[in-house]
Structure formats: structure tokens, C-alpha cells
Structure 1
């Protein structure tokens, strides 16, 4: 949100207050934090204290490597709630140093004196008497500063030329004016260094590097080709080695070098501002500290990594149609792990009442039992938090007070989506239990996973059961919704066996995986913007991510888009074939080619491409399963931007059309009909997964290639061990047994990797150069096949194999 008119002026209707002087510094009584008193003007005599606003700022260290800043102008009003964070205010870890002698109660006396707070390697320092200043540094290196006119309070007149997102009925304002949201805003700027780049903010469909963008943290169902997002996260990190979380559940507006080209500005409605600075220095270390603060991703079940197939968002399907899909995949040797029932498992005009449409699914428990027992499938079902008026569930929710109400006590309703629908009030504990019971009933019928759709269209002029502030619930609602459903699944299936397929999220949502990228277009542009959004989300604390293979919107993707998306989708954390009005089974896309009179070359049909990449992903399960455990334990995502893996490479930091699948595999999806693709290999030795070609570069290099549909740029990083099960037909199994251990040692002398099993046991494979060859050892002496970068294979004996030079 922009409050200024160029460098010198404010916009019409805006009155600004700035912290102008650090007048008083006082350490907290526990010695683990300090307070800054900063008037909005320079004091030259005592009379200058009259009629003078001021800012009260507390600086604390709630966790190692983390510093928290809380500022207020007026402290008498309600504060928008922040997110649940894992801090112990009674045991803060920082310590304060007074750089000049203070008095007995910890006040720093003279101008020019400074006070600093250290939290591990991170240090916050303020100098007294100077204009507003707060410097964050680590290891003697300045990370960022807030100085000058950086801490601000803005008051708006009704005609203020400041606008929030014009998002209509459900959003901040019906006319786009920020005044309609609040008459006052608090803001802070943190400086950007020359060349410093900014990443994150959750799911954003624009460029991965966020410099120059205005970003509103306000979840919307806006598709994937706009500035809106389904999963907006008020967290970012930069190439300088730190991250920032604005601790506010409501509308947070960021100007990322867009209003002030030298800073990131963030603003929130009201008199209070609360934010955390989180040190790295690496992006992975920032995520480790950040997810320790806001919660780490749950462990997901192994079966969820396999291929998901859905009914798509189609109006006509029944048990016969579903069986034809499942039989068709089996007949074509494309292993299927999960089958998903989308919206129309319930009767039209009755979403979401959790009742199967008996016209088409009369004995659902028997049906799901056969799919489980005879087909070995897991089952997913679609739900949303809206309840249509034409249901017994609506009447029950209305009578019991479980639906969100308007200010006059009536149930809030709308015809947008379902006729007369109401909204479940998850702030009501009894409503939560009521909804959880519905989910558990669904699970008892044979469902294993829940697709929690929607959660973004949250009204503003309503009353919540627990008295929550109305605008703070817009983004926070999705967390209460997904948390309720995830708890229900976890209580039935157990920890490590629960998984959602969620569309909306806020801070904390990473604890209830997995999330998918929303309603993307069935085009190469739709595919590319989906990847950009996924990389941003995965830079924001989320460990798992998926998307609709083939795209969602539109009648149907053409065969080329579908096949290119299949390769990308099956080299993603989770893989689901789903669309809008056309089923996404691969043979339909071969038939399109035949009808157009095109001859499909061997290996290039959609069926063959789907089979190849499904089997490839299943063969990589020892590698993928371990990455999932790492996401759960450290917050490092499975799919990673090039920035996360190569933060010191200035070229890699900007790339958003390729990614790392874990630390070892580089993937560059193809976004063209011709098969042309341009991508970048960072410095080092890389081996092509499909051809065995090796490339070694001291400075990184660009490659331009043309790929058939059954190929994709897939490269292995030097120093990697990638364990595979080449015969796997299921994502579940014994990963470290009968395995192939692929070793890539060129410029690296030794390396090792852990392979964990579903039962919790593990084996460590270690490889090192010895006597001109490579020796590979399994820690528990198990048998395996060692595979050299060139493809030669050696069978181990008593857990040891030697690959020749």
C-alpha cells in the first residue's frame, strides 16, 4: 500500500507521523530485551514534549537467531492477533549490552550511547539521540536497517488516495479504498542493499524475484494469472541472509522496492506493528529457524507420493466411469496410488453435506472396499467449508448456531458457489467437533485423504462465535478449517498417515500438508505460472506442493501441453491428474492426436509418457521418502528453487523455470510446443539422468536443447548418491533393499546418504574414492547394486562394492 507521493510528499488525504528521534533507551528488567521511546519530532527543550505523538518499541529475542520488534503508537485499542509462534517469553535467549553506562534501572543516559541485543549470531543495535535507527547485523556484517522516516503511522481521510485490493463482497473494501478498512495504518521499512533480492510471500504467480512488486496478503480465489493468491504468507527472505515475518493475521501490504526503491515497506491496519527478523545466513537455515517458530510440515504417508487420478470437475460420472479409469490405467501399466472423487460425489445444490449421491453411488462402502482391497488404491474425497441451504446439514448448523452470522443475528448466506450457502464457524469449538464428525464418517466409509477446497471467500461484515476481529479472520479462517480437517484425519489414521489436498493457506498451514496450486490455465503459460507460484510457496516454509497435471481451466489442454505437464508433475512432490470439464486420463489425449490425423511416434504418446514418468518417480521413492522426512524435521522443502540450493550464484537466484528436486536432481520443465528449452547448470559437474552425458564447468553454463515428449532436462549434481528401486510399481515398499545405489563422484572425494524405511529403520550408504575407483559401503551390510555415473553396475558383497575408475 503506497502512502507517499514520490520521495517528498504524502498522497492526498494522508497524514503521516514518523519516529524522528531515539529519545530514550531502557533495557528490560530481565536483561533480555530493550525498549525504545521515539517521539515524532526532535526535542530541544522540555516544552517540545507537549502535543507530541510518540512510538513505543520493544525489541526482544524469542529464539536463537531471531529478533522480534513490536511497535505501537496508541496502546489502548485492540491489537490484530498474530500467529501462534513457538516462543517462550519467560525464557528469551538474547542478552542486552549497554555500550555506555546506564543508570540503575537500565536506562541509557547520554546521546550517542547505544544499546544492542544479541540472539545467537544476530544483533540489533540502536543509538540514542539520533534520528530513528535500528540496525540488524550478524558477524560484523550489516543485514538491514530501519532508519530515517522508516517507522511510520498514517492517518487517512475518507478521500485518501490510498487503495487496498479492490476485492468486492468478501474483501477489504468494496471500492478499493484503504479508509474503508481502517482510518490508521502502521508501517515500517527495512532497507535493501544494492543488488539485494527478495523472495517468498507464499503463493505468488508473478516473477519469483519479488523486487518491484506490490503484494497484498489477502487470500482470494483469483485463479493463477493475477496478482492474487490462494496462499498469501507475510514472510519473505532476501539474498542478504535473513527473513522477515510480519506477525499479523489480517491484511498486510508489502511494497518491495516499489514505493521506496531502497527498502521493503510493510504496513498493517491499526496502531500496532509486530515483526520478526530471522537470521540464516543460508536460505535453508532461515527456513529451519522460521519453521521452528511457526511450525514444521507434518510427515506425510508414503502412498501419497504415488500418482493421483481424479474424476475431474465433471458433472457426469458414476461407478462405471470410475472403474473404466482405474481399469484403463492398469491395462496400460500406469501404476495408480490414489483415486480422488471430486465435487459431484455429492448431489448438485447440496454441497457440502457429506452425503453420497445415491443415484450414482448407492453402496459406497462396498465400492471403496473393493478399490482398497482388490485394486490396492487409497481414496480421496473433495469437501469445502460451505453448506448449501438445500441440505439437512444447513438446518442442523443453523439450529445449533454453527454457521457464521451477520451482525443482526441472521445466518450469513450467499448464492455465490452454492444456492443460499452458509459458512461453518470454526471459531466455535462445538462447530469444529460437528464438522470433524462429518469428516470422520467419511473416513469410516473408506476415504483416506481429504481435498479441502476453498477457504478464501470469507465475508467481512459478520460476527464470529469467539468474538474474533472481523478482518483478522479473512486469512486466518483457512487455518482453522484445514487444521480441523487434518486433526480429524490424524485422529482416525494416526500421525504420519494424515494428508490433505488443500488450496488455501496462511502462516501455519504448512503443518497440514499437502497444498496444490489452484485453478491454473491448461496452457504452457498456466504451467509456467504454476511453477513460479510453487517455488514462492516452497520458499515460505511449505515442504510439500502439487498442481493439476494438464491444467484445470479450459475445455482441455492439447496433447503437447498435457504430455509436458506430465513430466513436470511426476517430478513434483505430489502428482495429481485433474482438470475441469474433461477427464485427464492419458489415452484421451492420444485419441485427440489420432482424430487430427497425426501419427504418434514410438514412445511419444500420452500413455507412454505417463507410464515412463510414473515409473521413474516410483523408482526414486527411496530418495523422495527421505526428502519428505527432511521437510518434516528441518523445514527444507522437497522441491527447491535454485536460490535455495545455490544462494551464492547470482544467476541461479533469478531462475523460476527450473528447480531442484531435493539436493541432487535438477529439473527444467519444457514449456514449448517445439520441445525447445533453455536452462542453466550451476558451476560443477553434472550428469544427465537419461543419457549419462557429463558436463563440468567452473562458472556455470546455459544449455539450449530440443526434447521429445518422453524426455526432460534431468541432471544429477556431483557429490550425490541417489538410491532407486527400478522395479517399483508402488510408492510403498522396502526402499533400501534390492536397491540400485547410483554414485556421482567427480570433483568430490566422498559422500553419503541415509535411506529411511517406512518402519523407521534406516541404512547409510557411503561412497569414497579409493585406488582410482569408488568404494560404496552399506552401513548394515545389506546387498545392493552400485551404479557408476557412466551406467556400469557392480553387485555388492557383504555390503561393499567397488566401482572402477
Structure 2
């Protein structure tokens, strides 16, 4: 379907065929429209906790030695890194479900080492299955042939396209047997290389030849009465023939759902193999993919315009029920500059999914390659993100259970403020954090809205990204570390922004971070925090042991009018400081028990 906006105002819909089911969601406000939409397509999945950490990837980490050095240099420079990735470099002759015996011969050992560091490992998995390996040498194709899992051309033979390994066949994920075969492939590979996540790329599906190596028939499906303005001018440009045969229908009817069908198959297979929450990242997307997969915004360029465009791209996916989304930090194509990469890391620290990913021919852009000032700014942004992960994880819980948005456009939070309707250079996390990134080269001040409609100019030198807490909110945080494995054991602290009346509220969802269906099974902790009348009280509404041994180490309270005479924590005097903000330190209050922190003015 092609949809065009007219100034009238009106929408013009032109469809290439099929049945149109139109759903009208009446709101009355933006958040309820999103909730009504997600009641149709399904609420998003709950991600594993570690997937909210920092991910690092590059096409061009050519050996296990190179990949290990990247991790070593990241941690030696005190940059948090949870997940190391490999692009197609790892694969033998670029064939998926293999690894290169010369350059990646000790891949299983490397993954084991990463796990011992408390890290995770992800690699790329394209759907194109190499079709030219000698018979008996490449089981994914041999078994797929026997089990009849591949898409056929109009004459009933296997359709052969061309992707990275050369001639390839394409699995038909609408066929139940294909999904079983795909699980067998993943299970077999995982038994050798215990990967923690799968990155499904090229799944539009993409092909380097038009239609197939033999071309496509001249018929109405390949040349319909109307062709939308697609790249290449034909529906089969850069992909497979529209008249190709799949289990459910022709590819013409199923093309846009190919990535969704693969994401569903990969999520289900990987869940069965792991026995815990899977992580899947998909390039192609379709309504309801957020139930099975994260998404990134594709191969963006390293420039300031793409940095700015990444915000509306991420926010749109949020509205579409895909909260776990981000853009390639510092850009994928072309060379970044130090300033651009710093500003992108600061913005990327507030993408729900945070990955720095770079293309083979470009200048390196790992955080440790830059000058000390730039590194300090990036480290600061990363540590801020890691400190906020309990809050971010709680937002994902609300997205999963209530269809709330994680990264949120301002118009959703302030629907009656007309100024907020056009803002796409700032965004919120939940309803309580406002993120105002610098998006122009050389800028050290940043102009932005308050919900009262005021413009304010704030300083934002290279080491600063402006983040503001909305009054009346309590943000649960945790001392950062180099991995979430370590940070999840650290003391919590609270950031409290009192309202004008002296009140605030916040909450924390906490489980083991990886088990399946913890909310549905009641296997989690949920704690609320309430501030008012010069005190903060926690209320653990549900406990399952996940918070045992974890403590509240401190808190900071904004909006206390003057220095208190004293502070009591569960009745005992506590260390506190006051410079416009009340800071309470050296606490050791168990998170799994009710606690009260009071101050006397």
C-alpha cells in the first residue's frame, strides 16, 4: 500500500491488491490510541536485562583475536560493554550456521571467555542459504532440500537468488516444517557456539539480483497495474520474484511479512533452545514484530542529518509497538568525526537499544579510539545509562504489560500543548525524563521547550547531554559497572524530584532478568516509592527473592527548600549533604523490606 498525505487534509491510499481491513482507533488521547492499536497487534515482548546494556559491532572484526582485543580495550578504558557482536566475518565462506576454521577456529572458546567476564555474544544470521556447497558438506541446505523448506519459483523449482555467500535459496517461514528445520539449525549451531542473541539481517528478503538468477516471468504479479515508487522501479528489484511460491500464498502477497515470519520463527526456536528469554534483532519489520524482536533503523550514514533523523525514527517504532529500537551509533556508512561520535553516543545512551555499529571500509569508531576528552564524555554518557537501567527495565515492564511507550514523543505526554506536536529533536523516557541532545556541529547551547511553552537556552559543552527529571517523579537507579552482570549486584539509589507540593512517586520492577514469563507467572518483585511530608517510604508490593541481598545505598532529593536539621533512615541518623539538593549517603537499607527516610527542616 502507498499512502500519500494531501494538504486538504486527506489521505490517498493506493493498494497493489488484496483486502483492506481499516481499523479506526478513537483514543481519546494519543496514549490510548497506541494501547488500542497494540490490543490488535499484541503487546511487545519483555527483553532480557542484559540487552539494555551497550552493544558493540563492526563489519571487519576479521578474527577472534581482533574481536577479543576490542573487548579488552573497552574494559581497560573503563567503558561498560555488555554485548560483543560479530558481523559476517565469522562465517565460513559467508555461509550461516558455520564458522571460519582459520580466522574464527576458536569461536566457541572466545564466547566462553566472554561469558566468564559476565558478557554476552551475538552474531549475524542472514536468511539466504548457500545452494552451491558440494552435496553432503553443508547440512542447512542439504536438510532443507530434503524437508522442502525453500521458496519455489513459478514453475515449482527452488528459487535461487544471490546474497553474500553467492547463489542462495530462501526459507519459507510461513511453512511449519521450515520453522522446525530452522530450530534444528539453531540448536545444532548453538550446541557448538553458545550465542546469546541472533541478528537477522537481509530479511526483506534482500537479493543482489533482480528476482532470481534466472529472472522472473512476465506476468501480472511481476508487473501489476500499479507499482508504488520503490527503489529500482519494480516490485522485484533487490528482492525475489513476486510470483515465487510460498506455503501460504505467492510472495506478492507475503513479501512485507517475510521479516516478521523469520522473527517469529527465530524467537520461538531460540526460546526452545535457550529455555530463557531470547534476543532477536531484525532489519525488516511489520506490525507485531515487537512481540518477537528488537529493530534497528538500518544502515545510516555518519553525518549530523542522520543523527537528527534517528530521533523520529526511534519514536515512530515506539508508537508501532517496538520499544526496543535504536540507530547505529556514530553511523554505519562513511567516517564519523570525534564530535559527531561523542554527540551520537550521548543521544544513543537514550536509545532503548544501544549499539555502535560500523561498516568495513570506514575509520574505527569504538569509544577508545578517540581523545581523552571525548572518551570522558562517552564514558560519562554510558555510566549515566547504566545507572538508569533499573528505571529503563521498569519502563519495558510497563510496555510489555500495559502498552506504555518507553522512548516517548512529547505530544504523548502533553497532548493539549500544541507546541509539542512538532517536536522531534527531544523525547522522553516514560513520563519522567526529558532528553535534550545536541544535534548540530559546534553547538554548545541547546534550545528546547518546557511544557509551559517557554524556550530556554541551556549550556551543553561537549561533555554534557541535558537530561531533566519531571517534578513528582522518583527514578530508581543503580551504581553502574562494566557489565549488567556486575551492576545488577550494586547498591540502588533514588533520584527524587519533589512536586511543588512536596510529593513524588516511582516504581521498580525487578526479576532475574532472563527467565520466561516472569510477570505472567508472578515470579518478580515490584516496589513503589512515595515521597511526601518530608519523608520517602518504599512499599514492596510483591517479592520473590530477586531483590534479596540488594540494598538502597543513597538518594538525592530535589525540591527540599532548605538544609534539614537531620535525616533519619529507618529511625537511625544518616549522613547527608545539602547544596540545593538533599543528598543522603552511606545507607544500607534492604530493598526487599519497607524503608523510611525522613528529614526534619
TM-score, shorter chain, exceeding 0.5: yes
Q: Structure 1: where are the runs of 5+ without partners?
A: 1-251, 591-599, 684-698
Q: What is residue 78 of structure 2 aligned with on the other side?
A: 333
Instruction: Using the TM superposition, give the Cα deviation of residue 804 of structure 1 relative to its aligned residue in structure 2, in angstroms.
Output: 5.8
Instruction: Using the TM superposition, give the Cα deviation of residue 417 of structure 1 relative to its aligned residue in structure 2, in angstroms.
Output: 4.3
Does the CA-based 8 Å contact 2:479-2:491 persist in structure 1? no
TM-aligned CA distance change 1:467 to 1:775, over 3 Å:
closer
Q: What is residue 541 of structure 1 aligned with on the other side?
A: 321
Q: What is residue 205 of structure 1 aligned with on the other side?
A: none
**Could you give the per-residue CA deviations for residues 272-322 of structure 1, whole angstroms, max 9, x where no partner exists?**
431111222222212222112111111111111111112x112x5212111
Instruction: Using the TM superposition, give the Cα deviation of residue 610 of structure 1 relative to its aligned residue in structure 2, in angstroms.
Output: 2.5
**Could you give the per-residue CA deviations for residues 35-81 of structure 1, whole angstroms, max 9, x where no partner exists?**
xxxxxxxxxxxxxxxxxxxxxxxxxxxxxxxxxxxxxxxxxxxxxxx
TM-aligned CA distance change 1:719 to 1:672, over 3 Å:
same
Matched residue pairs, number? 513
Larger relative contact order (CA 8 Å, sep ≥ 6): 2
2:160 alignment partner, SS class: coil
Give the greater-gyration-radius structure (CA): 1
**Could you give the per-residue CA deviations for residues 180-227 of structure 1, whole angstroms, max 9, x where no partner exists?**
xxxxxxxxxxxxxxxxxxxxxxxxxxxxxxxxxxxxxxxxxxxxxxxx
2:12 alignment partner, SS class: strand
Instruction: Using the TM superposition, give the Cα deviation of residue 645 of structure 1 relative to its aligned residue in structure 2, in angstroms.
Output: 1.6
Instruction: Name which of 504, 520, 524 aligns with 2:284.
Output: 504
Q: What is the TM-score when the length of structure 1 is the normalising length?
A: 0.61
Q: What is residue 720 of structure 1 aligned with on the other side?
A: 473
- 1:269-668 → structure 2 map (5 Å cutoff): 269-270=16-17, 272-310=19-57, 312-314=58-60, 317-348=62-93, 350-351=94-95, 353-373=96-116, 375-391=117-133, 392=138, 393-415=140-162, 417-444=164-191, 445-456=193-204, 457=206, 458-495=239-276, 497-554=277-334, 556-581=335-360, 582=362, 583-590=364-371, 604-605=373-374, 607-668=375-436
Q: What is the TM-score when the length of structure 2 is the normalising length?
A: 0.80
- 1:178-327 → structure 2 map (5 Å cutoff): 252-258=1-7, 261-270=8-17, 272-310=19-57, 312-314=58-60, 317-327=62-72
Instruction: Using the TM superposition, give the Cα deviation of residue 368 of structure 1 relative to its aligned residue in structure 2, in angstroms.
Output: 1.3
Q: Which has the higher strand share?
A: 1
TM-aligned CA distance change 1:531 to 1:511, over 3 Å:
same
2:100 alignment partner, SS class: coil
Does the CA-based 8 Å contact 1:658-1:679 persist in structure 2? no
Separation in structure 2 between the aligned mates of residue 803 and residue 639 of structure 1, nearest angstrom? 34
Say yes or no: does 1:753 pair with 2:506. Answer: yes
Separation in structure 1 between the aligned mates of residue 157 and residue 429 of structure 2, nearest angstrom? 50
Separation in structure 1 between the aligned mates of residue 258 and residue 70 of structure 2, nearest angstrom? 36
Does the CA-based 8 Å contact 1:641-1:659 persist in structure 2? yes
Instruction: Using the TM superposition, give the Cα deviation of residue 464 of structure 1 relative to its aligned residue in structure 2, in angstroms.
Output: 2.7
TM-aligned CA distance change 1:297 to 1:708, over 3 Å:
same
Q: Which has the higher helix share?
A: 2
2:251 alignment partner, SS class: coil
- 1:673-688 → structure 2 map (5 Å cutoff): 673-683=441-451
Instruction: Using the TM superposition, give the Cα deviation of residue 418 of structure 1 relative to its aligned residue in structure 2, in angstroms.
Output: 4.1
1:300 alignment partner, SS class: coil
2:383 alignment partner, SS class: helix
Q: Structure 2: where are the runs of 5+ without partners?
A: 207-238, 513-523, 542-550, 559-579
Does the CA-based 8 Å contact 2:55-2:355 persist in structure 1? yes
TM-aligned CA distance change 1:423 to 1:380, over 3 Å:
same
TM-aligned CA distance change 1:394 to 1:679, over 3 Å:
farther
TM-aligned CA distance change 1:725 to 1:356, over 3 Å:
same
Instruction: Using the TM superposition, give the Cα deviation of residue 725 of structure 1 relative to its aligned residue in structure 2, in angstroms.
Output: 1.5
Instruction: Using the TM superposition, give the Cα deviation of residue 783 of structure 1 relative to its aligned residue in structure 2, in angstroms.
Output: 5.0
1:724 alignment partner, SS class: strand
Instruction: Using the TM superposition, give the Cα deviation of residue 534 of structure 1 relative to its aligned residue in structure 2, in angstroms.
Output: 1.3
Q: Which runs of 4+ in 1 moved over 4 A?
A: 732-737, 780-784, 795-798
